[in-house]
Amino acid sequence: MKKIIYFIATILMLSSMPACVDLDTAPYAEITGGNMWSTESLVEKGVTGVYTSLKKPIYSSSMVGAGLWVGYYGLDVLGMSGSSRLGMNGLFTTSVNPGNSYFSDTWKWYYDGIHRANAAIANIPNAKMDEGKKAKRLAEVKVLRAFFYGRLNEIFGNGGFGVPLYLEPISADECIRTQTPEAEIWAQVIKDLTEAIDEPNLPNNDIQGEGRVGKGCAYALRGHAYLLTKKYAEAAADFAKVEDCGYKLFTGAGANSYKQLFKEANERCEEMILSIQYIADASGGAGGYGSTLQKYVAAFQQGSKDSRGCWTDIRIAPAVVDLYEVVNPDGSVKSFNWSDYIPEWESTAVSDRKVFFVRNTLYKGEPIHSTVTNIINGNTGLGNLSGAVKALYLPEGNEERIKKAYESRDPRLAFNVITPYAEFLGVNSNSTAEGTYVYRWPVPGKPYFNDAASEGNYREGYTPSGSANAQAELVYIHRKFVGEGLEFAYREINPIDEPLIRYADVLLQWAEALVEANDLAGAKAKVKLVRDRAGIATPDASFANQTVARNYVRDERRREFVGEGINFFDEMRWRTLKETKFDRKFVEQVHGGQVSTGGTYNWIGDQWYTWPVPRTEIERNPNLKRTPGWVYE
């Protein structure tokens, strides 16, 4: 797709087609027939338009501090593994209703891809071009249509409800069908994927290629469809075929393979089955050919060559950080528990636990600086705590005991998350040099290491403090995908690809299927492959019975895919969001305290697991059924 992406400017003019919704984000031209698909060149542009529909599925209203379409990392905010410092447009409150723009934007996005695919499938057979290449492109588009329909069915059609099924190009006025039952949508998904798999001209993989789909992708998607429809033997068989198509875990960087997997050099490696590929093209601007991830998930000092001042609008939830296990000296693992590091943890009120995270006042026995002392003693730090709670603070050593809680953990934690008092590589105030920061809290400002006010000038040898954009809050910050120092040219045009499907995902879904088939030894073997790559043991006890194994595989998926937009769909299909997200009650800081602007989580009932048909669609199409449990008044 690095090559495909250069077609995008043309596609926006030529390759959009009428959809069943009014899309405000893309211009539309009449291209469903006639000359648009008549030549190979035009077919290539049309197919590229379908691939383009994979990009940036989430509109960022109240998710980040700007209005734009963001990548798959935004989906983590909807699951248990992420959160936003903003109000999420009321999505998690009792006032949420079918008129919420998140529902309509998501519905529109999927149908945009579906209708583009329908136009391609209808018109490619009549094009004047090589028959083998024509068959290959037709198979690709069927895989993409299956992807869009599968995701749409997972969140709007589950529980048997289904979604409207359109398989041919039609005008917006003709989009008046009712829902096709969920099972029939899955049957169509499987049909599209089977036809693609059976096409001799579709290659097994596109490793180191242009970012196109191949048979391995089709098998992965069909295995997922079988898993969701509880056909576990069929799912396992398809997941095995993905390996036969040439995909495997990336292990080319040894112990650092997990970290290096998400670097630009390895974007098209043998693990990446389907990715959204980005390029750092400055002419594209923030809405162009690059990912916006860097700006909205990174620490303030994690800038790029062009700018600094990233926003930590999207954070990592404490619940998922606590899932990363502790590695014992003998190599065995155990669950993480704060009480093992801070004996007073359980006896201290949640709102008072911030005392354990307040930075040191002293450095080598001497006060760091009066500015630091003042902020520590202020209300952000110790100022509003009782005397008994303040007595739990260590003026020199508080940072060290907190750091111990993150040491000797699953290595993926350090690769995915900037934890309190960890180091990260950032940039100076004019983005001309890179240097080391320590993520301390609270901070008196947002200094750079060359500023006059930098803490590096307070004490010789003292590393300046990095900070979150909302510096009064102590939160977990993303490290995966984020550039280190001057690694990237542009803060808002990140070149790092976003994986939609990678082989680790296939292995862990394969493990799920084996657990449900009660093949616990087989499930453990698949999980072990993923954990061996990370350098962490797989405990036998975690596969002692089906229930324990099921929960362990789910936790492994939560640990592996932070920041990849996978967890939301997992929690929805497992029907676990109530326990994993909403029972936390509110957006949390590291110590469990509430984030002031993030709002609370209010569970409205199990209807949440089937997103409502948007009110605008109900008003436009009288044949659509209203989603049960949702109030449309």
Higher pLDDT, 239 or 32: 239
Q: What is the pLDDT of residues 340-361, one digit of tens each?
A: 999 999 999 999 999 999 999 9
Q: What is the pLDDT of residues 493-546, one digit of tens each?
A: 889 999 999 999 999 999 999 999 999 999 999 999 999 999 999 999 999 999
Q: Is residue 389 part of a domain?
A: yes
Q: Is residue 100 part of a domain?
A: no
pLDDT band of residue 458 (cuts 50, 70, 90) is confident
Query: What would the DSSP string read from start to end of 458-524?
Result: TSTTPPPEE--SSTTS--BEE-TTPPPTT--S-SSSB---EEEEEHHHHHHHHHHHHHHTT-HHHHH
Q: Is residue 376 part of a domain?
A: yes
Q: Is residue 384 part of a domain?
A: yes
- Of 627, 598, 631, nearest in space to 613 by CA: 627
Cβ-contact 442, 368 below 8 angstroms:
no
Cβ-contact 353, 592 below 8 angstroms:
yes
User: How far is it, in rounded angstroms, from Cα 591 to Cα 146?
Assistant: 42
Using the Cα atoms of residue 271, residue 274, residue 276 and residue 277 in order, give the sign of their dihedral.
Answer: positive
> What single letter denotes the amino acid at residue 264?
E
- Of 611, 616, 629, nearest in space to 175 by CA: 616
Residues forming a β-bridge with 437: 424
> What single letter denotes the amino acid at residue 420?
P
- Of 38, 37, 39, 50, nearest in space to 4 by CA: 50
pLDDT band of residue 170 (cuts 50, 70, 90) is very high
Q: Is residue 308 part of a domain?
A: no
Q: Are strands 434-439 and 465-466 parallel, antiparallel or unpaired?
A: parallel
Q: What is the pTM of this model?
A: 0.94
Q: What φ, ψ does residue 120 adopt, rounded to 5°? A: -65, -45
95: burial class by Cβ within 10 Å (0-12, 13-18, 19+)?
exposed
Per-residue tokens: 431: 């983005």
At which residue do the structure tokens 């390996």 appear? 243
pLDDT at position 25, please?
32
Cβ-contact 142, 193 below 8 angstroms:
yes
pLDDT at position 165, please?
98
Residue 327 DSSP code: E
Q: What φ, ψ does residue 404 adopt, rounded to 5°? A: -65, -30
Runs of H (alpha helix) within 270-427: 293-297, 318-321, 370-377, 387-390, 398-406, 411-416
Higher pLDDT, 433 or 283: 433
Per-residue tokens: 114: 């579906």
**Host domain of residue 393:** 334-470
pLDDT band of residue 112 (cuts 50, 70, 90) is very high
What is each CA distance from 581 to 77, 93, 319, in whole angstroms? 10, 13, 8
Chain centre distance of CA 259: 16
User: How far is it, in rounded angstroms, from Cα 593 to Cα 604?
Assistant: 23
Using the Cα atoms of residue 493, residue 490, residue 102 and residue 601 in order, give the sign of their dihedral.
Answer: positive
Q: Is residue 239 part of a domain?
A: no
Return all residues near 362 (Cβ < 8 A) that are at least 6 apart.
368, 395, 396
Is 50 exceeded by the pLDDT of residue 469?
A: yes
Number of domains in the chain: 1
- Of 147, 151, 471, 134, nearest in space to 301 by CA: 471
Peptide bond into 203 cis (omega under 30): no
Q: How many CA atoms lie within 13 A of 168 on its CB side?
A: 3
User: How far is it, in rounded angstroms, from Cα 575 to Cα 559?
Assistant: 18
Q: Are strands 58-59 and 69-70 parallel, antiparallel or unpaired?
A: antiparallel
Q: Is residue 413 part of a domain?
A: yes
pLDDT band of residue 612 (cuts 50, 70, 90) is very high
Q: Is residue 359 part of a domain?
A: yes
pLDDT at position 13, please?
32
pLDDT band of residue 2 (cuts 50, 70, 90) is low
What is each CA distance from 135 to 62, 142, 414, 609, 613, in whole angstroms? 43, 11, 45, 38, 35
Per-residue tokens: 518: 């009660």
